[in-house]
Amino acid sequence: MEWHEIIGQTGIGLILGDLGKGKSALGYYLLETLGKHYNKPKFVYGLPKEKIHLVPRDIKPIYDLDFPEGSIVLIDESYLHLNSRSSMKSQNKFINKLMGLVRQKRILCIYISPTSRRLDIGVVSAVQFLIIKKPSLLAVKFDRTQLRGILEDVLRKFKRIPEEEQKKNAYVISSNKEGFLTNPLPHFWSEELSCVFSGVKITEEAEPPQEAGDIEVPKGKINLKCSSCNKNNELQYPEKCKHCGGFIASKPVFKRLSEEKIKFSF
Average confidence (pLDDT) over 90-104: 67
Q: What is the pLDDT of residue 214?
A: 39
Domains of the chain: 3-194 (3.40.50.300), 212-265 (no CATH)
Residue 67 neighbours by CB distance under 10 Å: 21
The answer to whether residues 136 and 152 touch, using CB atoms and an 8 Å cutoff, is no
Q: Determine which of 32-46, 134-148, 226-240 has the lowest per-residue pLDDT on average.
A: 226-240
Three-state DSSP state, 60: strand
Q: What is the pLDDT of residue 207?
A: 40
What Cα–Cα distance (Å) separates residue 145 from each residue in 77, 97, 152? 21, 24, 11
Residue 120 neighbours by CB distance under 10 Å: 25
Look up residue 118 and give its amino acid: R
Q: What is the pLDDT of residue 96?
A: 64
Q: What is the pLDDT of residue 158?
A: 93
Q: What is the pLDDT of residue 252?
A: 45
Q: What is the pLDDT of residue 221?
A: 52
**pLDDT tens, 218-252?**
444 555 555 556 666 555 544 556 666 655 554 44
Q: What is the pLDDT of residue 49?
A: 87
169 confidence band (pLDDT: 50, 70, 90): very high
The answer to whether residues 186 and 193 touch, using CB atoms and an 8 Å cutoff, is no
Q: What is the pLDDT of residue 196?
A: 80
Q: What is the pLDDT of residue 120?
A: 67
Look up residue 103 and give its amino acid: R
